[in-house]
Structure 1
Amino acid sequence: MNTKKISLIVYALLLVALVAAPFFGAYPVFVMKLMCFALFAAAFNLLLGFTGLLSFGHAAFLGGSAYVAGHAMKVWGLTPELGLIAGTLSGAFLGWIFGVLAIRRQGIYFAMITLALAQMMFFVALQAKFTGGEDGLQGVPRGKLFGLVDLSNDLTMYYVALVIVVAAFLLIVRTIHSPFGQVLKGIKENEPRALSLGY
């Protein structure tokens, strides 16, 4: 049995375990948090494991987008899907800003710039009124997804989060196996050659 088949079997078993977890006594909110951090780790692996770029600022994208999504739903009254889109776009915007400032640096300089930017985001989140400071955002309404799916139920929220995490993980896998993913691997293996090829 080759490595690809073994990986598929492991992923299938993991998916079955996650689908069944709430029925075997697992607390859905806790497992949701685990899934979110697993997705965070997968995204970090895309940057470090496949491209070879050590970023200490990755948490700023997760935190920044979470604050925007929570604020949009709580204060602006946006629906969950619009809040998630707002959070995703803000995370992408933060990534673009970080990239513009850090991508032309290499090694320790890249890592230190991303660390400085992440610390700046941390202090903004700690001091800004809309973030709730040290208390964080409290009482963010879950609402109804597309006006149909009531997310106030923990089990419903769990399965919606599971679908999103699986879709995002599949997107990362597709990215890795795309021509763009091969470029990322090439940058890690031999950056001067990637540069000479125009990447």
Structure 2
Amino acid sequence: MRTLSFAAIAVVLLALLAVPFVPQLIYSVFVMKMLCFVLFACAFNLLLGHTGILSFGHAAFFGTGAYVTGILVKEYGVPTDLGILAGGLVAAALGTIIGALAIHRSGIYLAMITLALSQLVFFFFLQAPFTGAEDGLQRIPRGTFLGVIDLRNDTALYYVVLGIVGAGLWLVWRTVNSPFGNVLRAIREHEPRAISLGYPVARYKVLVFTISAGLAGIAGSLKAIVFQLAALYDVHWHTSGDVILMTLLGGMNTVFGPAVGAALVSALNHYLDPFGAWVTVIIGLVFMTCVLTFRQGVVGQLNQWFSSRRAPIPSAKGQPRSHAHQQ
């Protein structure tokens, strides 16, 4: 199973590396947008899938990263790489504050607290005089990365975005497959038992909130640089709903399932755009179909299917025998 997973990741990576060389087949700017949402969804899943915390306000961190980067790069001439880093750090700080306030409740009450605080962030960016209000922060210069890579070139920008998103996904994978990740899953499965074992559960929750918010902020920062725009939709509750949809569609009990969900939703929004408002209806139908067909998400269901195919079955003499032996 692990060999199959690594092979799939290698194929996807090779396909992503080849995107700029086949512009007639796929639009690199669309792939960059998809990569931003891939990182956003996987960061969100650290909370939902691995800790059991449902946040209805994750767009606050995504949008904060976009606005902070846009303001620093456009208004103060900060280098783009430092602007992206600042967007992630400010979003992480905001995640620490919101997480510390929200974890005192659980379930739907925690979700409502995150939604309420996210709306406060939304109205701040709506009313603040330096954010462009409903017009958003436009014409954000792309600048250079590390002082040498000209981000005005779409190909150069693509590989920078791919590298940063890849590093973010590695951090997600490392977090999940670590003792820290084991504690998060223990909290998800049975929080009172984790407390009885002596783990400072509140501290772990705030820390995972901070990591998730920081990665979401970097995703928003990258999107602002790609489109040279930080808009109110980035911090709107609709965006929070989109990332929940992506996570459930891909599989919230997996590491990279949300990445598949983000790719599917982004592709549907892009290629079905000529249908106008009907896009929402079509995506809803696709979501219902996938929920009914793939109860654990697309990747989760595929993992279960491959595991069942590889599971040993008893032979006639009562000894375990695999499907391969049977064939």
TM range (shorter): over 0.9
* Aligned counterpart, 2:3: 5
* Aligned counterpart, 1:32: 32
* Aligned counterpart, 1:184: 184
Q: How does 1:42-191 map to 2 (within 5 A)?
A: 42-191=42-191
Comparing 18-27 with 79-88, which one deviates more in the overlay?
Answer: 18-27
Partner Cα separation in structure 2 for residue 129 and residue 107 of structure 1: 36
Partner Cα separation in structure 1 for residue 73 and residue 35 of structure 2: 22
Paired residue total: 197
* Aligned counterpart, 2:295: none
Deviation at 1:93, TM superposition (A): 0.7
Partner Cα separation in structure 2 for residue 119 and residue 152 of structure 1: 34
Partner Cα separation in structure 1 for residue 197 and residue 123 of structure 2: 40
SS in 2 for 1:39: helix
Partner Cα separation in structure 1 for residue 123 and residue 94 of structure 2: 15
Partner Cα separation in structure 1 for residue 122 and residue 10 of structure 2: 37
Identity across matched positions, percent: 58
**AA of the residue aligned to 1:145:** F
**AA of the residue aligned to 2:133:** G
Supply the RMSD in Å over aligned alpha carbons: 0.9
Deviation at 1:144, TM superposition (A): 1.1
SS in 2 for 1:121: helix
Partner Cα separation in structure 1 for residue 63 and residue 124 of structure 2: 11
SS in 1 for 2:50: coil
The C-alpha deviation readout for 1:86-108, integer Å capped at 9, x for no partner, is: 11110111101101110121111
Q: TM-score, normalised by structure 1?
A: 0.96
Partner Cα separation in structure 2 for residue 122 and residue 27 of structure 1: 31
| Pairing partner for 1:16 from 14, 17, 21 | 14
Partner Cα separation in structure 2 for residue 132 and residue 123 of structure 1: 12
After the TM superposition, which parts of structure 1 deviate over 6 Å for at least 4 consecutive aligned residues? none
Partner Cα separation in structure 1 for residue 73 and residue 98 of structure 2: 26
Partner Cα separation in structure 1 for residue 111 and residue 92 of structure 2: 19
Long gaps (5+) in structure 1: none
Q: TM-score, normalised by structure 2?
A: 0.59
Partner Cα separation in structure 2 for residue 60 and residue 150 of structure 1: 29
Deviation at 1:19, TM superposition (A): 0.9
Partner Cα separation in structure 2 for residue 4 and residue 50 of structure 1: 20
Deviation at 1:30, TM superposition (A): 1.2
Partner Cα separation in structure 1 for residue 2 and residue 185 of structure 2: 18
Partner Cα separation in structure 1 for residue 62 and residue 49 of structure 2: 19
The C-alpha deviation readout for 1:154-182, integer Å capped at 9, x for no partner, is: 11101100000011001100000111110
**AA of the residue aligned to 2:10:** A
Deviation at 1:198, TM superposition (A): 2.2
Partner Cα separation in structure 2 for residue 127 and residue 9 of structure 1: 49
Partner Cα separation in structure 2 for residue 10 and residue 59 of structure 1: 30
